[in-house]
Copies of this chain bind each other. A is one copy, B any other.
């Protein structure tokens, strides 16, 4: 991908960090399946599946570990 979508792991707040973890998780999918229409169709499918949603939440949790460590856990 030629565009810059990840300039830094630093965020202002934990919540923005969590949302960055969400972006990382989706990008991890998009690199394998770049077609937007296919992605939309599949997302609609697993958004109705308890197992699919739990798996998605797990990937976010793993990426949030990375983002939180990068931000030194937003300690004051």
Chain A contact residues: over half helix, strand or loop, or mixed? helix
Q: Shortest distance in angstroms between A16's beta carbon and chain B's nearest beta carbon?
A: 9
A31 and B60 contact, CB distance less than 8 A: yes
Chain A residues numbered 1-39 whose CB sits less than 8 Å from any CB in chain B = 4-10, 13-15, 18-19, 22, 24-29, 31-33, 38
In the bound complex, residues from chain B placing their C-beta under 8 Å from that of A32 are 43, 46-47, 53, 56-57
How far, in angstroms, from A47 to B32 measured CA to CA in the complex?
Answer: 6
Closest B residue by C-beta to A58? B59
A28 and B5 contact, CB distance less than 8 A: no
Closest B residue by C-beta to A4? B15
User: Which of B5, B13, B62, B66 is within 8 Å of A6, CB to CB?
Assistant: B13
